[in-house]
């Protein structure tokens, strides 16, 4: 009576193996989920790193914007610019359509933070402009 029946031992071992296989399957699924989340976070971190490199350099932004204002299309227009440490304020009492299109195309397609933009139509070919760009 003191002996353990070998059938019981085999049944217990089979139950333990089945339980461990079930746990292993669950852990594999969890690992796959964590890997996919890691890939998403890695892509997001790369995107944020690229954006930081573009937006976090105010000296570069200022230099590029000064170069933009020196363009030949904008020289003939009386554009007043007030550069500060935090950004630039641009005003033009009367700017022609060609110069305005050039300026807006360059500003809106570049990596500038436009804080305020106000364009008022004066005539068919002239407009007034007020814009604030923040570094």
Q: How many domains does the chain have?
A: 2
Tokens linked to 110:
């570049």
Last residue of a domain, one of 34, 56, 78: 56
Give me the sign of the Cα torsion angle 16, 17, 18, 22. Answer: positive
Tokens linked to 128:
């007034």
Strand arrangement, sheet containing 126-134: 80-83, 87-96, 126-134, 113-121
Same domain, residue pair 27 and 93: no
Count other Cβ atoms within 10 Å, centred on residue 17. Answer: 10
Task: Compute the average pLDDT of residues 69-97.
Answer: 88
* pTM, rounded to two decimals: 0.59
Domain that holds residue 49: 1-56
What digits encode the pLDDT tens for the residues 2-54? 788 889 999 999 999 999 999 999 999 999 999 999 999 999 999 888 877 76
Q: How confident is the model at residue 108 (pLDDT cuts 50, 70, 90)?
A: confident
What's the pLDDT at 32? Answer: 97
Tokens linked to 73:
């299309």
Same domain, residue pair 64 and 126: yes
């Amino acid at each position: 009576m003191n002996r353990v029946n070998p059938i019981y031992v085999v049944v217990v071992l089979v139950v333990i193996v089945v339980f461990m296989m079930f746990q292993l399957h669950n852990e594999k699924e969890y690992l796959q989920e964590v890997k996919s989340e890691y890939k998403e976070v890695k892509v997001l971190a790369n995107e944020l790193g690229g954006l930081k490199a573009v937006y976090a350099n105010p000296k570069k932004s200022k230099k590029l914007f000064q170069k933009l204002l020196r363009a030949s299309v904008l020289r003939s227009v009386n554009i007043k610019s007030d550069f500060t440490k935090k950004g630039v304020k641009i005003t033009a009492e009367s700017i022609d359509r060609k110069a305005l299109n050039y300026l807006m195309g360059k500003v809106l397609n570049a990596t500038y933070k436009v804080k305020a933009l106000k364009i008022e139509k004066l005539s068919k070919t002239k407009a007034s402009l007020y814009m604030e760009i923040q570094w």
